[in-house]
Amino acid sequence: MQTTFPRLLQKHASQRPDAPAMREKEYGIWQSLSWADLLAMVQHIAAGLHQAGLRRGEHMVVVGANRPRLYATMLAVQSLGAIPVPLYQDAAAAECVFPINNAEVRFAFAEDQEQVDKLLEIRDQCQQLERIYFDDPRGLRKYDEACLASLDELQAAGKAFVALHPEFYAAEVNRALPDDVGAMFFTSGTTGNPKGVVHTHNSLLNRARVGADFDKLTDTEEVLAYLPPAWIGQNIFSYAQWLACGYVVNCPESAATVTIDLKEIGPTYYFAPPRVFEGLLTSVMIRMEDAGAIKRNMFHYFMGIAKRVGPTLMDGKSVSTMDRLLYALGTLFVYGPLRNTLGMSRVRVAYTAGEAIGPDLFSFFRSIGINLKQLYGSTETAVFVCLQPDHEARADTVGVPCEGVEIKVADNGEILVKSPGLLKEYYKNPAATAEVLTEGGWYHTSDAGFIDANGHLKIIDRVKDVGRIKGGANDGAMFAPKYVENKLKFFQHIKEVVAYGDGRDKVCVFINIDFDAVGNWAERRNLPYAGYTDLAQKPEVYQLIKECVEKVNADLSVDTLLAGSQVSRFLVLHKELDADDGELTRTNKVRRGFIAERYDVLIDALYGGKTSQFIETQVKFEDGRTGKVSATLKIDDTKTFAPVKAAA
């Protein structure tokens, strides 16, 4: 049944007014907000915005972390027939200019002083921005800008209006149709200005309901909302599915307390990109390496059992009585305490998406009894295109098409999708819309892949990034940079990789080490270092990374399609790739073209046969200051392997 976001809010408030809708941790204490209280808050904010002049069809920016009043503001905007536009809270001020001007935004919600300062900084470039409403007043007492007002003031004005016009809110909500625009999300802008992805209430809620039905989600689920609300992945899990199912969304106190809050809440439904799962595993392995010999040996023994038995049990298959007994002992002594330490003791369904996840990483979480699965989707598809059934979760696929989805593979290997969750359009960009949406209703994903014999979708890389080696022993061989990058990132000591090779005679890569993991590794070997740049250039670290690269080369040598993508040379960058420096998008995707321009001298050195190269790079610090980081980077050759021919 088609509906809208505000109508779902009304339904929950009517059917279970006193049930908790959201919780927020403030000053170390969890505070609950019921559905009835949330509805009243939304009514008052909506009435206040109406009085201030927000009109049907207009856009309103919301920028901040997950907070009940941010979600309430989004619902209030939708209740008036206007369109919420969430922006990344860690974006630099300049990155907000295009979305605000493109969407002709007059009203903005800012969580706190940091976000207010950001919006005030760009007001000269966004002349139409009339009003900024803030949630957290700390630090804003002496601000006297006429455009600035607190959400408390807005709510108070709206409450008075509702008292005089009690029928106003319901009448506004009833005017909205499921096919009206419900929200707009801006893409990460990897190759230029971001595009506004326009979604209707129905496209978002249809996919939310399909995903909920697939995993039998109910109103008893507990979810921790800790990723940026501007990312559609977080928005679907903690906003669209929240309203579709009526479960409880919990907002952590801050980014620094997420790990603690995760343990306290014990979510039953969990979502994170692979990078988060990599961080969790890295922290576990660091702690185990620092543990006593008995504890460490017990951990490794039972993890060997888990690796052999756990995935089989998770897939619903039988194992021997002895293996079942050993796994039960492992659960008592290792897996259970480990799940509790990770905050996942109650997780019934966990998903990862956004990037490929390493087989070992994927297997680790499933082996200790966490039902980790993969999904496939994008901003343009309202996330849910493919999902993995409980007993068919594999690291090398992204699942089967979910309800309502059709998939076909174009002649060039591109995945085409037809789904009720497709975007309506790119805002004010008919040319870009026409590029991705065909007249037949098919969406061009730009991903290359294929459907395997079991009906599961496999993704290779972005179509535009799949290239060919030119010249040398591997002339004409396929090159898939993301595939190579992801295989290298499966190692806990490697955080980020940028691979080059299209149109060249060999593959070379830039590598970022994981500072925490490699730092711990160095400390256990009494290897002194003075910071990231110093540690990254240690000969011992280069040898460590070289071993990882050569293991990947050995794996690639048995891959019929990609044996020619083995890495011939590498260097470890002197700084971590950073979104503030333009090297990553706000969703932590590598901007390969920008990096190639910025570090062209390093690429020339890699392909020119040099053994070292000096580089000086301007960086932006968290407080807005700029500085320079320089180093002479070592360049190393790696062993490659002859392709292994398949048996006849």
pLDDT tens across 291-350, in order?
888 999 999 999 999 999 999 999 999 999 999 999 999 999 999 999 999 999 999 999
Residue 190 pLDDT greater than 80, yes or no: no
Mean per-residue pLDDT, 477-506: 90
Among 3.40.50.2000, 3.40.50.150, 3.30.300.30, 3.10.20.30, name the CATH number for the domain at 466-637.
Answer: 3.30.300.30
Centre a 10 Å sphere on the Cβ of residue 168 and count the other Cβ atoms it contains: 16
- Convert 173-188 to b/e letters by CB count within 10 Å (16 or more is b): beebebebbbbbbbbb
Residue 623 pLDDT greater than 90, yes or no: no
| Contact status, residue 55 vs residue 107, Cβ threshold 8 Å | no
In this predicted structure, what is the pLDDT of residue 396?
84
Mean per-residue pLDDT, 452-463: 88
CATH 3.40.50.12780 fits 5-248, yes or no: yes
From residue 307, alpha-carbon distances to 298, 299, 341, 365, 510 in Å are 14, 12, 19, 10, 31
Please give the mean pLDDT across all residues of the chain.
Answer: 93
The residues spanned by each domain of the chain are 5-248, 274-463, 466-637
Locus of tokens 């619903």: 316
Residue 646 pLDDT greater than 60, yes or no: no
Residue 157 pLDDT greater than 60, yes or no: yes
In this predicted structure, what is the pLDDT of residue 22?
98
In this predicted structure, what is the pLDDT of residue 645?
65
Residue 21 pLDDT greater than 70, yes or no: yes
pTM for this entry: 0.84
Residue 609 pLDDT greater than 70, yes or no: yes
Token pair, residue 441, equals 């209703």
In this predicted structure, what is the pLDDT of residue 439?
81
> Of the ranges 416-425, 477-486, 520-529, 589-598, which is most confident?
416-425
From residue 59, alpha-carbon distances to 62, 74, 84, 175, 185 in Å are 10, 11, 6, 17, 11
Strand residues in 76-124 grouped as ranges (E)? 83-87, 107-110
| Contact status, residue 482 vs residue 464, Cβ threshold 8 Å | no
Q: pLDDT digits over 101-154, tens only?
A: 999 999 999 999 999 999 999 999 999 999 999 999 999 999 999 999 999 999
In this predicted structure, what is the pLDDT of residue 648?
40
Among 164-168, 402-406, 414-418, 621-625, the minimum mean pLDDT is found in 621-625
Mean per-residue pLDDT, 176-197: 89
Residue 644 pLDDT greater than 90, yes or no: no
CATH 3.40.50.12780 fits 274-463, yes or no: yes
Residue 556 pLDDT greater than 60, yes or no: yes
Cα–Cα distance for residue pair 511/206, rounded to 1 Å: 40
Does 274-463 match 466-637 in CATH topology? no
Mean per-residue pLDDT, 479-500: 89
End-to-end Cα spacing for the chain: 54
Residue 647 pLDDT greater than 50, yes or no: no
Mean per-residue pLDDT, 242-252: 97
For residues 453 and 122, which has the higher predicted lDDT (pLDDT)?
A: 122
Cα–Cα distance for residue pair 431/428, rounded to 1 Å: 9
From residue 369, alpha-carbon distances to 186, 312, 316, 335, 356 in Å are 36, 10, 12, 7, 21
Mean per-residue pLDDT, 601-609: 96
φ/ψ of 63, rounded to 5, equals: -135, 125
In this predicted structure, what is the pLDDT of residue 189?
67
Residue 477 pLDDT greater than 90, yes or no: no
